[in-house]
Structure 1
Amino acid sequence: MIKIYNIPGLKNAGPSHWQSRWENQSKDITRIIQDNWEQPDCQRWITRIDQVLGSENLNDVVLVAHSVGCAAVLNWFNNFRKPVKGALLVAPSDVDRPDYPPYITGFAPMPLIKLPFKSIVVASTNDHVVSPERARLFAERWGSQFIQLHNAGHIEDQAGFGDWPEGMDLLNQLR
C-alpha cells in the first residue's frame, strides 16, 4: 500500500490548506510534524523526515511538499540518498534569493540534482517566493514534470486552493 507524507512549509499548513484537507479526506496521508514551524532549520527538518521515513519501505512512499517543504525534500534526498516512489513538489521556495527570510536557515543552496524517482513540480506565474523561471529551472534540474499555473499565487488556501482536486489528480499519477 502506498503511504503519502505531507511536508508543509513555513508556519505549517492550516486547516483550510489543501494539504490539511487531503489528510482529512484520506487515511493514507500523514503529516511529518516538525518541531519548529516558525523558524525552519534544514538539518533539523531533514533529520525529522529521515526519522519518520526510517521504518517505511520507501518504494511505497510518496512525498507531498509545499514551499520550503520542497527544499527540505531536496536537501533530505541530497544528504541521505534514499529514493522514494515519487514526490509532488508544490510552489517550491527559492531559498537562494538574496531577500529570503533569514530565520529560515540551512536550506541554501538549493540542491539542483536529478532525482532518481518520479516527481512533479507545480508552480505559479505570480508566486512571491519563486519566479516562474527559477521554478522551471528546478523542475529541469530535478528531472521533474513541470506544471505551471497561471496567477495561482503561492498555491495555498489564500489563493483559492482549498480541496484542490487537480492537485490530487497529480498526486494520483505518482501513486
Structure 2
Amino acid sequence: MHADFAAFDYIIQPGWNNSLPEHWQSHWQQLLGARRVGNHEWHAPQLADWLQGLDAALGAASKPVIVIAHSLGCATVAHYAARHGRQLAGALLVAPADVERASAPAQLQPFAPLPDAALPFPSLVVASDNDPFSLPLRSVRMATRWHSRLYWLRDAGHINVASGHRQWEQGLVYLRELIALIHAANPQTVSA
C-alpha cells in the first residue's frame, strides 16, 4: 500500500443502486478502511438525501478526506462542492454518469443540471471511451467544468462489474496520482 494512503480518510460514494459486493468500490472500501455513504434510497435517489449522506460521512472523518465516487456519485460530489462549505482534500471521480443526457432515466433527473463551478479541491476524472452512460464529449465537458484532470480507459464500459472491473487494482494508480496532486496543491494537508 502506498505510504501516503494512511494520511487520509476515504469515503466511498457509490452511484445509482449502490455498488454490489463484487464492485471495485466494495473491494477498495475493505482495502482502504473506507466509510461508505449511507443513503436512505439507492433505487430512487433524491439529491437532498444523497447530499446529506455525504455530509454525514464527511462529518465522521478525523483526517483529510478523499471521496472515491462512481457514476451518479460523481454528480453528487459536484453538487456537494457547489452547495456546502465542508472542504475535501480531493476526489476520484470514476465513470461520471451524464445526468443531462436526453436518455437519462427519470430517477436521475433530480441531479440535473450539473453545477458549472470548478471543484475547489484537486480531482481526477477516469472515463471510458465507450461508457454507455456518458459519451466521450460529455465526459470531457464534465471534467472541464470541474477543472479535473482527465484520464481515459479504452473499451472499459461503465467501469463496473458488468465491464469486468472488480478489484480494479489498476485504478489505485489514479488514487496515487490524486494524492500527488493533493500534495502539490496543499503540502500542509498531508503530513510526511
**Please, which of 7, 10, 15 is the counterpart of residue 13 of structure 2?**
7
List alignment gaps of at least 5 residues for structure 1: none
Are 1:115 and 2:119 an aligned pair?
yes
Counterpart residue type for residue 54 of structure 2: I
**Please, which of 18, 31, 40 is the counterpart of residue 35 of structure 1?**
40
Q: Secondary structure at the match of 1:104?
A: helix
Q: Which has the higher helix share?
A: 2
Give how far 1:55 is off. 4.2
| Residues 47-56 or 10-19, more deviating | 47-56
Distance 1:97 1:39 in 2: 18
Percent identity, aligned pairs only, is 38
**Please, which of 14, 31, 50 is the counterpart of residue 55 of structure 2?**
50
- Structure number, greater radius of gyration: 2
List alignment gaps of at least 5 residues for structure 2: 1-6, 180-192
What TM-score, normalized by structure 1, do the two folds share? 0.93
- Superposed CA deviations along residues 43-79 of structure 1, whole A, max 9, x for unmatched, are 110012112212435x710000000000011111111
CA RMSD of aligned residues (A): 1.4
**Please, which of 157, 161, 182 is the counterpart of residue 157 of structure 1?**
161
What TM-score, normalized by structure 2, do the two folds share? 0.85
Q: How many pairs were matched up?
A: 173
Residue of structure 2 equivalent to 1:17: 23
- Check the 8 A contact 1:41/1:105 in 2, yes or no: no
Distance 1:82 1:91 in 2: 24
| Residues 118-127 or 108-117, more deviating | 108-117
